[in-house]
Amino acid sequence: MTSTYVATAGEREKRGGKKPDLVESDRMRAENSLGRKLVVPAIVVMLIVTAFPMLRALYLSLFTYSLTAPEDREFVGLSNYLTALTDPLFWRDTGVTVLYMLVTVAVELVIGFAFAMVMHRVIFARGVIRTSILIPYGIITVVSGFAWQFAFSYQNGFVNGWLPFLDSDFNWFGESTPAIIAIMISEIWKTTPFMSLLLLAGLAQVSEDMLEAAQVDGATWWQRLWKVILPNMRAAIMVAVLFRALDAYRIFDNIAVMTAGAVNTESISFLTYRQTIEQFQLGIGSALSVLLFLSVLLIAWLIVKLFKVDLAAARQEG
């Protein structure tokens, strides 16, 4: 790497996030300039594949535009945004989406951490255990959605049989609450391994010396967890929560497969999909995409503020 100085997260924070004063040598300048030249092609590709569609969506969101009636296209300014933001359907779906995000990320964080501890500490059959924990993540979400749909089905599923307090003909997909729970379980089953993988990386960073020192000082297991392990993993936890929260907010596949948005299980992504792909309403669909993008930005910002860690430090970049 070109960087000659790597700040650890701790050091960086102590300095209040200020950049270290470094004297730039000729060699560093030359390397930086070469670095910039080397990333130009990547930036150009990024602009084409991400910035162009984003700008195009922004532009389209200012029109009423149906793909099947191109002649009726009309500039309406911000009216699509007004329609979306004043429509109860938008807020209902936003509420449902936030619920999906909060519950799944919280549960995944707890289970994922437990799995990470197991993967970190396990002394026998390490490869097998690690692999089996990670298997669900290797399964395509659509497949996982179908598998869980069958599992919850009252006709051929096993879930009703396993739960003694439920009737054998209880229809999980007939009402909102059970349907949302079923979708969440599929989502949690599928993505917890990803969470545990990110947390495992964080666990590996916690210095064994510190843990031993704490143990020598008489700290209990619980104290070591709360006072040593978790604070030292803050950056890793933030990355894990950030990635999963943003992913969870865009939840689509499981809903599409398991309920197709019926019984009020629709998320914002699914609403956007219906407007754009099913109704061919590119204008309002694009406006919803832009709103979705802004919500994701807002969530990212909130999480970064909440954990008070900056991403560059978390990745130990210079």
Partner 1 sequence: MTQPSYATAPGARRRRRGRGLAAVAIGVLAAGLLSACSGDSGKPVLNWYVNPDGVTTLTELAKQCSTDDYDIEIQLLPSGATDQRTQLARRLAAKDGSTDLMSLDPVFVAEFANAGWLEPLPEDVAATATDEDVLEGAADTVTWDDKVYAFPQWANTQVLWYRKSLAEAGGLDMAKPVTWEQVIDAAAEGGGTVGVQANKYEAYVVWINALVQGAGGNIITDNEAGKDASVDIDSEAGAAAATVIQKLARSEAAQPDLTTSNEGTSLGLMFGDSPGEFMTNWTFVYKNYEGLIESGDITQEDFDDLGWARYPATVEGEESKPPIGGIDIGVGAYSKHRDFALEAGECVTTSEAQVQLAVNEGLMPARASAYDAPELTEAYPADLLELFRTSIDSGGPRPKSAYYATISAALQSVWHSPRSVDPDKTPGESAKFLKDVLEGKALL
Contact set with partner 1 (CB under 8 A): 64, 66-72, 76, 79-80, 83-84, 87, 89-90, 262, 271, 274-275, 277-281, 283-284
Given the complex with partner 1, which of 136 and 178 has the nearer CB atom?
A: 178
Longest dimension (CA), the chain: 77
Given the complex with partner 1, which of 60 and 203 has the nearer CB atom?
A: 60
As beta bridge partners, residue 69 has: 66
Closest separation between CB of residue 107 and partner 1, Å? 30
Residue whose structure tokens are 């960073």: 205
Given the complex with partner 1, which of 62 and 101 has the nearer CB atom?
A: 62
DSSP 109-120: HHHHHHHHHHHH
Burial 142-173 (b: 16+ CB within 10 A, else e): eebbebbbebbbbeebebbeeeeeeeeeeebb
Closest separation between CB of residue 68 and partner 1, Å? 4
Residue whose structure tokens are 């860690």: 309
Q: How far apart are CA 255 and CA 187, in angstroms?
A: 10
Contact 240, 209 (CB under 8 A): no
Q: How far apart are CA 228 and CA 238, in angstroms?
A: 16
Contact 287, 314 (CB under 8 A): no
Closest separation between CB of residue 51 and partner 1, Å? 21
Given the complex with partner 1, which of 212 and 278 has the nearer CB atom?
A: 278
Given the complex with partner 1, which of 197 and 258 has the nearer CB atom?
A: 258
Given the complex with partner 1, which of 116 and 287 has the nearer CB atom?
A: 287
| Amino acid symbol at 266 | E
Q: How far apart are CA 79 and CA 75, in angstroms?
A: 9
Contact 66, 281 (CB under 8 A): yes
Residue whose structure tokens are 């990355």: 239
Closest separation between CB of residue 303 and partner 1, Å? 28
Closest separation between CB of residue 55 and partner 1, Å? 19
Q: How far apart are CA 17 and CA 23, in angstroms?
A: 18
Closest separation between CB of residue 207 and partner 1, Å? 45
Given the complex with partner 1, which of 204 and 277 has the nearer CB atom?
A: 277
Given the complex with partner 1, which of 86 and 156 has the nearer CB atom?
A: 86
> And the tokens for 72?
């009726």
Closest separation between CB of residue 274 and partner 1, Å? 7
Q: How far apart are CA 119 and CA 196, in angstroms?
A: 9
Closest separation between CB of residue 79 and partner 1, Å? 7
Given the complex with partner 1, which of 64 and 141 has the nearer CB atom?
A: 64
* Vertex 145 angle, CA 139 and 147, to 5°: 80
Closest separation between CB of residue 96 and partner 1, Å? 14
